[in-house]
Amino acid sequence: MFKKGTAIIAVVALLAQISILSFKPATAEAATSDISASYDWQQLKTGGGGFVTGIDIHPSGNVVYARTDVGGGYRLNDAKTGWIQVVTANSMPDESPGGHKGVVSLVSAPSNANAAYMAFGDSVYKSGNKGDTWSKTNVSGLDNNANGDARTTGERLAVDPSNENVVYYGTIGNGLYVTRNGGSNWSADAGIPSTGENVHGVQDVAIDAGSGTVSDGGVTRTKTVYASVYGKGIYRTDNGGNSWYKITGSWPADNGNYTDMEIVSGALYVSGGGVWKYAGGSWSQINTNTDIWSIAVSPSNPNKILAFNGGGTPYRTTNGGGQWTQLDKNRVTGSGDVPWLSWTDEGWMSVGNVAFDPVVPDKLWFAQGIGVWTSTDINDSQLTWTSLSAGIEEMVSNDIVVPQGGKPVTAFWDRPLFYHANNDQYPSQHQPSSRFNSAWDLDYSYNNPNFLVASISDHRFCCESDGQAFPSGYSTDGGQTWTPFASVPTDMHFGDIAVAASDTNNIVYLPTSNRTPYYTTNRGQSWNPIILPGTESSYDNGQYVGGSHFAYYLNRHALAADTVNDHTFYLYHNDKGLYRTTNGGQSWSLVNTTLPKGWAVGWFNMQIKAVPGKAGHLFLTFGQLDQASYSLYHSIDGGTTWTEISAVKDATSIGFGKAATTGGYPAIYLAGKVEGDYGVWRSTDEGANWSKIATYPKGIYDNVSAIDGDKDVFGKVYVGFKGNSFVYGAPSGTNPPSGDSGVGSGTGLNGTYWNGLNFEQWVANRTENIDFDWGEGAPVSGMNTDNFLARWTGFVQPRYSETYTFYTSSDDGVRVWVNDQLIIDKWIDQPATEWSGTISLQSGQKYSIRVDYYEKTGGASAKLSWSSATQSKQIIPSSQLYTQ
């Protein structure tokens, strides 16, 4: 436990007595190269994790979008097995470093499934290809805060079902905006009042598709539209927006917080101060529960309504609100989905919104705090949610370590630690327990790389009674399992942590709120406070505030352990400079005062990192600061003197990996600007020269918040983002094959056969691989011999981690998608012709696959083969193909 006694006051020489506290000259201009084309990037699979704040389902049921609070937006893939990010450097017209963020609203156009609109950044964007690419409409300067307190209310965008160019947008702080020409021009509608605040605004817009249309000014549009306005009431127009009138008053009140609104069979349903129904010009309250957050009304039976409170507790009525039944709820993992989502403690299922599927009866979709869920189990006493979050990666990354001989361990907000036994498989759980928490900093003992330490603290500040809010601790098995420290001082929360190079009992902790740093020599059985020299008078209301971590939420790593010299630690102080201890934390010396410091450079998102295997070698960056730019700094004498690497600016994170040559300097990785060019960079010569390995890894232009290199594979690096979890990259072909995963247990794909060239008449379903030569006959009984279609869907499982070539031989047209990538596109009349496409796949992993085929006239054949460096060319066997 904490030893109550006199604090350790370290001894330091006065600044005037220190002879060398200076910089070496800044390095000369660095040589740069761009090798990004040679790098392959993959998702480090974690899965879900962040708040999916809303979901939109096209009336056809074939296009589904999900929006998130910090990690962009997603579209459900064609196989409906996972999600595709639609906010990427390739899809957006105006990406910029760190410009990736959450989405306020994302909807399809009811009359055109290819068209979509998205409120993002300070504008509204439009797509004509389901979000594959976006163009910015003619509006800017909007207050689009996707992570604000009203992030889950309503759906703010509404596209007119009779005219995809008529769009309403209920903004957060700018009123109701309307365009009638597809975004070429927008105007604020004066008929809707301002809320006078910029948190809620116009919360929801709903269009009554059955109300008929009106035409004027050459624009046809739907007559009746509703807009809910925070604290002002609900407004209605019956002339397509030419004029509006308020329909609320005393019942329901105007001053409501209207969390959800939808229209079924001409009736308006609203949640806010209960559940309300507006029909025939009058209101009725059909549920008095004031905590209802989302409502779902069955499109096929409006008497069946489900309502959900803020924690996801479901209530059901089957008689239009006459009686309600509270239901239980539970969670299961969907096929091939993220297993930890159903394992984690998520009794309080934070609600984005819930909606009925417009086509599948009694199917619900749930946009939720850690992912997307569906259910068809809604008619008994327990509602079972099945996860459907594969492809969504919305964790907020804080740190990563990749010890030599070990596996990546990642640290996040909300779900603290993940051990990644396989980069390409979702973890089954997180550490240190199933409880909600956040991990802020990681370190490992360089000479005992299985020993890791972590700073873990619950940032909700509400839930400490269970004694598990602050489980900072250690792992002795590379991060697979964790042990909380036996004692934790009352102010030793959040902040940074470091462990000695060899002595795993020696740990230093730097808490947040500038509280007292601590050290232990017995692995956390007890802790000793540290008063840094020169900070002896730093007290506020009797509390020591001479530390160097002033706010828990900062991505600040101001503490590091030397990787060679045991018991040596470094601490950057925001006002003083660099401190060093060589006796495990007992005494500290201020060894440098000339590094940039003071407000604001020294206070925010700086990082200091010790170079693996190099005694006294350090790198330091001050991150990205508003209205200021700072270089990267390097020391080779334990922080006494520093060299400014002036070619590097605004590096948000740095890390190290295996050297390019035996005995060479560890590879350095960073995200920042080199000679003014932003990207992720690598240096193999101690920072003298730099190679760009990506501008935006995997198209993600989010802020990079964590980096570490693989200590066993040169060139392999892991990059974490503020809202998109982690990716990993390596030079093409350098990821070693993981070996043969063996023959699979599949039975084939779902084969569906149709007469006609536009799916006119379904004929048969079969489970099979694709190896057919029908000649001039029919594939199945009752089918045409010409003019027919076939579609095969499911999953393909490679045996080796290699680049695969897929081959088709078909007469006539064929298209092939693997992992949602179109790799063969030959939708043409042709004799039996072979085509091919390539894609990198991982051993044993199941990837979605879809093959479309048509036969026009004459002979008919369809074959699907594959090959790789290890896999000889063959028809893909049924054993490697799965229906689910």
Among 534, 507, 516, 667, which Cα is nearest to 593's? 534
Residues whose CB is less than 8 angstroms from the CB of residue 310 and which lie 6 or more positions away in sequence, other chains included: 291, 293, 350, 351
| Confidence tier at 25 by pLDDT (50, 70, 90) | low
Q: Which CATH class is domain 47-387?
A: mainly beta
Helix (H, G, I), strand (E, B) or coil at 594: coil
Look up the CATH superfamily of 8-34+395-731. YVTN repeat-like/Quinoprotein amine dehydrogenase (2.130.10.10)
Task: Please give the full DSSP string across 292-314, using - where no structure is assigned.
Answer: EEEEEE-SS-TT-EEEEETT--E
Q: 755 near 764, Cβ under 8 Å? A: no
> Would you list the domain boundaries of the chain?
8-34+395-731, 47-387, 749-882
- Work out the percent of the chain whose per-residue pLDDT is above 70: 96
| Confidence tier at 429 by pLDDT (50, 70, 90) | very high
Q: Which stretch of DSSP H or E encloses residue 115? A: strand 112-120
Mean pLDDT of 168-192: 97
For residues 805 and 795, give the distance between their C-alpha atoms in angstroms, rounded to a whole number.
16
Q: What is the pLDDT of residue 26?
A: 59
Higher pLDDT, 22 or 87: 87
Mean pLDDT of 297-317: 97
Tell me whether strands 305-309 and 314-317 are parallel, antiparallel or unpaired: antiparallel
Is 394 exposed, middle or buried (CB count within 10 Å of its CB: 0-12, 13-18, 19+)? buried
| Confidence tier at 578 by pLDDT (50, 70, 90) | very high
Q: What mean pLDDT value characterizes the chain?
A: 93
Q: Which stretch of DSSP H or E encloses residue 340? A: helix 340-343
Q: Taking CA 291 as the corner, what is the angle to CA 287 and CA 292, rounded to the nearest 5 degrees?
A: 55
At residue 739, does pLDDT exceed 70?
no
Mean pLDDT of 41-61: 96
Amino acid (one-letter) located at 840: S
| Confidence tier at 762 by pLDDT (50, 70, 90) | confident
How remote is the C-alpha of 648 from its chain's centroid? 28
Of 27-41, 203-217, 398-412, 652-666, minimum mean pLDDT range: 27-41
- Residues 835-857 have pLDDT tens digits of 999 898 988 899 999 999 999 99
Name the one residue in this structure whose structure tokens are 């907000």.
413
At residue 11, does pLDDT exceed 80?
no
- Cα–Cα distances (Å) from 541 to 21, 530, 538, 544, 842, in that order, read 34, 19, 10, 8, 58
Of 27-36, 370-379, 512-521, minimum mean pLDDT range: 27-36
Helix (H, G, I), strand (E, B) or coil at 271: strand
Q: Which CATH class is domain 749-882?
A: alpha beta
Helix (H, G, I), strand (E, B) or coil at 342: helix
Q: What is the pLDDT of residue 539?
A: 95
How many helices (H) and strands (E) in the chain?
A: 1, 74
Token pair listed for 402: 């990749």
| Confidence tier at 869 by pLDDT (50, 70, 90) | confident
Among 580, 583, 584, 510, which Cα is nearest to 547's? 510
Q: 246 near 233, Cβ under 8 Å? A: yes
At residue 128, does pLDDT exceed 60?
yes
Please indicate whether the domains covering 8-34+395-731 and 47-387 agree at the CATH topology level.
yes
Spell 569-588 as b/e; 16+ CB within 10 A means b. bbbbbbebbbbbbbebbebb
Among 52, 725, 561, 627, which Cα is nearest to 350's? 52
Tell me whether strands 618-621 and 607-610 are parallel, antiparallel or unpaired: antiparallel
Strands (E), 769-827: 771-775, 788-796, 802-811, 814-818, 821-826
Q: 254 near 232, Cβ under 8 Å? A: yes
- Work out the percent of the chain whose per-residue pLDDT is above 90: 87
Spell 619-644 as b/e; 16+ CB within 10 A means b. bbbbbbeeeeebbbbbbbebbbbbbb
Mean pLDDT of 171-182: 97
Q: What is the DSSP letter of 72?
A: B
Does 449 sit behind a cis peptide bond, omega within 30 degrees of 0 on the bond before it? no
At residue 865, does pLDDT exceed 80?
yes
Mean pLDDT of 201-217: 97
| Confidence tier at 1 by pLDDT (50, 70, 90) | very low
| Confidence tier at 28 by pLDDT (50, 70, 90) | low
Mean pLDDT of 490-500: 97
